[in-house]
Amino acid sequence: MAHDGKRPKVLVPTGYGLNCEAETMFAVSSAGGEPVPMHIADMVAAGPAVLADKAMVIFIGGFSFGDHIASGRALAHLLRARLGDALVRFVDDGGAILGICNGFQVLVKMGLLPAFGRRPGDPVAPQQVSLTANDRLGYRDAWVRLRIDRRSPCIFTRGIDRDVFECPARHGEGKLVFGDEATLPRLAEAGRIPVRYAGEDGEPTTRWPDNPNGSPEGAAGLCDASGRIFGLMPHPEAFAYRENHPDWMDPAGPPAPPAAPLLRAGLTALAR
C-alpha cells in the first residue's frame, strides 16, 4: 500500500459502547498515523468504500453492545454480515487490522482470527476459536508482561525491541478456547501466537495472576497468516506515556512505552 509521504490514515470505529478511542487515537498520532474516528453506524452505512483510503483499521476496547450476550458477539455479528468480506479483502490487498480487547473478541467472533486455512481471496472464515470467561470469573484490571514470539509473522510486534513488554490487561472474558486439540499447537508452530502472558522470569505462563484468564500456553493474542491481522486482550495503547507504568517513579525508571512503536511498526510494514 503506497503512501506518498502523507500520514497513513487509520480508521478507528467508535460507538455502541466502545470506549478506548481517545488513547487509541493518541497512540496512532504518536506513531505518525492520522486517526480517523468514525461511528460504526456511519461506517456500516458507508459500506466497503470507507476502507479505500485507509492503511489500517483498529477495533478498540470497550463493551460493544454492553457485551450483553457474550463479549463482542453482537458487534461481530453486525460487522461480519455487513463488512466481513470487505475487511478480509482489505487485508488481502495489503491493509492491516488491529483488535484490542473487545476488538480482539470481535475479530475472533467475526472469523478474522485466526482464519486458519483461509487463503487470500477466500471469503471470511468461520469462527474457529473463542474467548470466554476468565478462569477466575470477573473483570480484572492489572498490568501483565507479554513475551513476544520472534518467529511470528505479526508485523506489529516487530516494533518492540525487547522480548518482554508490559501493559494493562482489563477484561472478564479473555481465555482462549479452541474447537479441537490440534488447533493450538498448529497455531503455535506457525508463530500465530505473537504474544504470551509471562511470569517474572519472562517465560510464558498459565498461572494467575501473571496470566489473568487461564489461556492455554499463555496465549494473549493471535495473528493471521499474513501477520497483518493482530488481536490481543491486553491494552498496549494504555501504556503511551512513561507515567502510565506503575513503576515510573523508581530511580531506574520504566521501560519505554510500547504504544507508538507497535503501531509505527505496523504502519511502516505497510508503507514498504
Partner 1 sequence: MAFSAAKRRIEIEAHPRVWGAGPALDSLARDLYGKLRAWTGLSPARMRTRKVFWLHVAMTDDEAKRVLGALLDPVSEVGVFGTLPDGVDEAEAPPWVVTIRYLPGVTDVVGRTVLRVVDDCLGRATGGTVASGRQVLFWGLARDEVERAAREVLYNPLIESVCIERPPRARDVEIPSPGTTEVPAVRTVPLRGASDEALVEISRKGMLALSLDEMRAIAEHFRTRGRDPTDAELECLAQTWSEHCKHKIFAAHIDYEGPDGRVRPIDGLFATYIRGATRAVAQARAAQGLDPPQAPFLVSVFHDNAGVVRFTETDHLVYKVETHNSPSALDPYGGALTGIVGVNRDSFGTGRGADLLANVWGYCFGPPDYDDALPAGLMHPRRIRDGVHHGVIDGGNQSGIPMMRGFEIFDPCYAGKPLVFCGTVAVMPVETAGRPTHEKYVRPGDFVVMVGGRIGKDGIHGATFSSLALSEAAPVRAVQLGDPLVQKMMFDALTEARDLGLLSGMTDNGAGGLSSSVGEMAELSGGARIDLAKAPLKYPGLAPWEILVSEAQERMTVAVPPAHIDAFCDLCRRRDVEATVLGTFTDSGRFEVFYGDARVVDLPLSFLHDGVPRMHLRAAWSPPAPRDAGAPRDAAAAGPALDEALLGLLARPGFASAASYVRRYDHEVKGLSVIKPLVGVHRDVPAVATVMRARHGRNEGIVLGEGIHPFYGPYDPRLMAVAAVDEGVRRVLCAGARLDRLAALDNFCWPDPIESERTPDGRFKLGQLVRCCEGLFDACVAFGLPLISGKDSMKNDAVFEGIKISILPTLLVSVLGQIDDVRKALELRLTHPGDVVYLLGPDTGSPVRTEYERAFGTAPGPTEPPPPVEACVETARRFVALRDRGGVRTAHAPGRGGVALSLAHMVLASRLGLAIELAGDEAAVRSLLFGETPGRFVVVAPAEHEPALRADPVALRLGTVVAGPPRLAVRVRGGGGFELDAERMRRVFHAEEVDRGA
Cα separation of 235 and 19, whole Å?
12
Rounded to the nearest 10°, the torsion over CA 150, 109, 237, 3 is 80
62 binds partner 1 (CB under 8 A): yes
4 binds partner 1 (CB under 8 A): no
| Residue pair 217/188 in contact by the 8 Å Cβ criterion | yes
| Residue pair 106/82 in contact by the 8 Å Cβ criterion | no
- The correct pick among 130, 205, 211, 215 for binding partner 1 (CB under 8 A) is 130
Cα separation of 202 and 196, whole Å?
10
Residue of 21, 23, 154, 235 marked catalytic: 235
Q: DSSP assignment, residue 158?
A: G
Q: Other C-beta atoms within 10 Å of 68: how many?
A: 11
Determine the interface stretch with partner 1 among 5-13, 71-79, 146-154, 156-164 (rule: CB under 8 A).
Answer: 71-79
Determine the interface stretch with partner 1 among 5-13, 51-59, 113-121, 175-183 (rule: CB under 8 A).
Answer: 175-183
Instruction: Tell me the CA distances in angstroms from 15 to 56, 61, 140, 208, 251, one per residue in order.
Output: 18, 11, 23, 32, 41
* Cα–Cα–Cα angle for 149, 153, 156, rounded to 5 degrees: 80
Question: Among this protein's residues, is 235 annotated catalytic?
Answer: yes
Least separation in angstroms between CB 93 and partner 1 = 27
Cα separation of 28 and 8, whole Å?
10
Residue of 21, 23, 173, 237 marked catalytic: 237
244 binds partner 1 (CB under 8 A): yes
140 binds partner 1 (CB under 8 A): yes
Pattern of binders to partner 1 over 197-236, x per CB under 8 A? --------------------------------------x-
Identity of the residue, 10 or 270, whose beta carbon is nearer to partner 1 in the bound complex: 10
Residues 40-53 as b/e (b if ≥16 CB within 10 A, e otherwise) read beebbeeeeebbee
137 binds partner 1 (CB under 8 A): yes
Question: Among this protein's residues, is 237 annotated catalytic?
Answer: yes
**# of chain residues touching partner 1 (CB under 8 A):** 68
| Residue pair 148/160 in contact by the 8 Å Cβ criterion | yes
Question: Among this protein's residues, is 167 annotated catalytic?
Answer: no
182 binds partner 1 (CB under 8 A): no
Where in the sequence numbering do the catalytic residues fall? 101, 235, 237
**Where does this chain bind partner 1 (CB under 8 A)?**
14-20, 22-23, 25-27, 39, 41-42, 45, 61-63, 65-70, 73-74, 77-78, 81, 109, 126-130, 132-143, 168, 170, 177-179, 235, 237-241, 243-244, 246-251, 259
